């Protein structure tokens, strides 16, 4: 696949020099941090995965919304990770505004991401309005529960700011994860998608194919007060779901792995972000059993543990913390026809999943027609750069961002604003396959927009 994308990416990717340290007035000002965590588990009967799977029947393990607030030289910076399948459009705006108001900052300085578990809720208040207008309210997600969770998270943010901790050192570690992620688009000799490796794949030929393009590293960014660890933030790129569509709420493989680390080091706050994994799954290594799911969770926990052991610390102060955001407008997929979508949404004889999908498509089209941009953002911690990106982004974007600053550490959290659905590379829209064949709401030109946005965020 790298060969197939090399031409389009080569025209865009450039090497950027290290970003100079700025903010001399804050050279000796300490960095401070606070953390928050709330339960985000939906009640029995609530829709899951935007109404695409069975609703809640039981809870195998709880979901959470958790994050951190950095207090440096400017307004507070909020990072939040939610164990939901996705938060998009007006839902994303509502989450960010609530957290920003609670932290006393701007929504532009709030990065909200989901981990994309599938036995978990979604949230899009614009899609819900369209469904309500079609007399189909509540089919996508439990609206009252979503609003309660947003309010609870905002309250937790306010409470956490009463007792911030001083950060003296930044830690950075990484470790390769063994037999978890694999690219799910297996190409044939003609350059088209021959197999799609879903989270569970029983096709022997597809499972035997090489891993393909992935980012194999579990990365750890940690915050310390002297020798005392405060927060460990991990990053890894793969679809997390395995044992799903059974009505059993779960944080799935990544939630189980995170819980293992919490039991091992309860004195540390553990936060995880999912990287650009729209075309990366566990399907090569998962056989559909609970035992296999536990093995995947254990391997992820091993990666977290090893990256923690690899941590190397260096002093940090408020002057070394920076934040940039870049509003972008993404091109709408040409296959979506507004009148056809409206007709299907209004047709009560159509299936629930089809009508919800139409509402989500129309919500995205509405946002784009009104020219409401999406924020890309970047957190700088010395020579560590963390990009915050939207939707189900292909792994090629994460790998390209790393090549932009090869001398520094570049991390990525995807699954920000979920409204766009899958976002592939330009060539991927010609290759077929589920993601860019029927599930993307953007046009092939999206690659140019996002690559230019990343370049701006990562420039000196």
In this structure, what token pair is assigned to residue 102?
């609670």
User: What is the pTM for the complete model shown?
Assistant: 0.94
Which tokens in the block code for residue 8? 């389009």
Q: Looking at residue 437, what is its pLDDT?
A: 85
Number of other residues whose CB lies within 10 A of the CB of residue 439: 15
Per residue in 59-109, pLDDT tens? 999 999 999 999 998 999 999 999 999 999 999 999 999 999 999 999 999
Predicted confidence at residue 368, as pLDDT, reads: 96
Side-chain half-sphere CA neighbours of 393 within 13 A = 31
For 310-376, the three-class secondary structure string (H helix, E strand, C coil) is CCEEEECCHHHEEEEEEEECCCECCCCCHHHHHHHHHCCCCCHHHHHHHHHHHHHHHHHHCCCCEEE
- Lookup: tokens for 391: 């939707």
Cα distance between residue 271 and residue 122, in whole Å: 20
Residues of the chain with pLDDT under 50: 1-25
Q: pLDDT at position 24, please?
A: 42
| Residue 267 contacts residue 229 (beta carbons within 8 Å) | yes
Separation between Cα atoms, residue 381 and residue 188, nearest integer Å: 42
User: From its phi and psi, is residue 272 left (phi > 0), alpha (psi between -120 and 50) or beta?
Assistant: beta
pLDDT score recorded for residue 197:
93
What is the sign, positive or negative, of the torsion defined by CA atoms of 164, 416, 175, 177?
Answer: positive
CA–CA distance, 209 with 1 (Å, rounded to integer): 13
Q: In sequence order, which residues have a C-beta less than 8 Å from that of residue 337 and are 6 or more positions away? A: none
Q: Is the distance from CB of 177 to CB of 299 less than 8 angstroms? A: yes
| Contact predicate 251/63, CB 8 Å | yes
DSSP state of 121: -
User: Which pLDDT score is estimated for 27?
Assistant: 61
* Burial (Cβ within 10 Å: 0-12, 13-18, ≥19) of residue 191: middle
């Amino acid at each position: 696949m790298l060969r197939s994308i090399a031409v389009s990416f080569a025209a865009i990717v450039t090497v950027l020099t290290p970003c100079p340290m700025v903010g001399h007035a804050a050279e000796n000002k300490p960095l401070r941090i606070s953390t928050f965590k709330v339960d985000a588990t939906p009640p029995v009967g609530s829709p899951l995965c935007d109404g695409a799977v069975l609703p809640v029947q039981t809870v195998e393990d709880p979901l959470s919304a958790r994050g951190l607030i950095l207090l440096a030289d400017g307004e507070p910076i909020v990072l939040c990770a939610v164990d939901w399948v996705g938060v998009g459009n007006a839902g994303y705006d509502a989450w960010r505004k609530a957290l920003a108001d609670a932290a006393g900052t701007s929504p532009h300085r709030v990065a909200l991401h989901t981990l994309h578990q599938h036995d978990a809720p979604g949230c899009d208040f614009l899609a819900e309005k369209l469904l309500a207008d079609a007399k189909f309210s509540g089919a996508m997600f439990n609206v009252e529960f979503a609003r309660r969770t947003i309010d609870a998270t905002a309250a937790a943010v306010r409470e956490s700011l009463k007792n911030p901790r001083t950060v003296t050192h930044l830690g950075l570690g990484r470790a390769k994860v063994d037999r978890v992620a694999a690219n799910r688009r297996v190409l044939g000799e003609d350059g088209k998608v021959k197999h799609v490796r879903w989270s569970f794949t029983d096709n022997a030929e597809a499972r035997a194919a090489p891993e393909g393009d992935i980012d194999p590293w579990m990365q750890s960014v940690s915050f310390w007060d002297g020798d005392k660890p405060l927060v460990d933030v991990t990053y890894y790129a793969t679809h997390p779901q395995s044992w799903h569509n059974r009505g059993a709420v779960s944080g799935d493989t990544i939630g189980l792995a995170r819980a293992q680390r919490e039991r091992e080091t309860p004195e540390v706050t553990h936060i995880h972000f999912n990287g650009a994994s729209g075309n990366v799954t566990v399907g090569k290594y998962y056989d559909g059993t609970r035992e296999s799911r536990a093995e995947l969770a254990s391997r992820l926990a091993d990666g977290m543990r090893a990256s923690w052991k690899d941590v190397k610390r260096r002093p940090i102060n408020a002057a070394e913390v920076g934040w940039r955001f870049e509003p972008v407008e993404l091109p709408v997929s040409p296959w979506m026809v507004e009148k056809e979508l409206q007709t299907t949404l209004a047709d009560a004889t159509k299936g629930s999943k089809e009508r919800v999908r139409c509402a989500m498509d129309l919500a995205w089209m509405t946002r784009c027609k009104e020219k409401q941009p999406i924020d890309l953002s970047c957190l700088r911690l010395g020579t560590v750069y963390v990009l915050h990106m939207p939707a189900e982004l292909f792994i090629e974007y994460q790998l390209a961002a790393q090549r932009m600053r090869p001398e520094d550490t570049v991390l990525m959290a995807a699954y920000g604003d979920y409204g766009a659905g899958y976002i592939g590379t330009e060539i991927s829209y010609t290759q077929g396959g589920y993601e860019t064949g029927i599930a993307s709401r953007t046009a092939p030109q999206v690659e140019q927009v996002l690559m230019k946005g990343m370049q701006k965020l990562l420039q000196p």
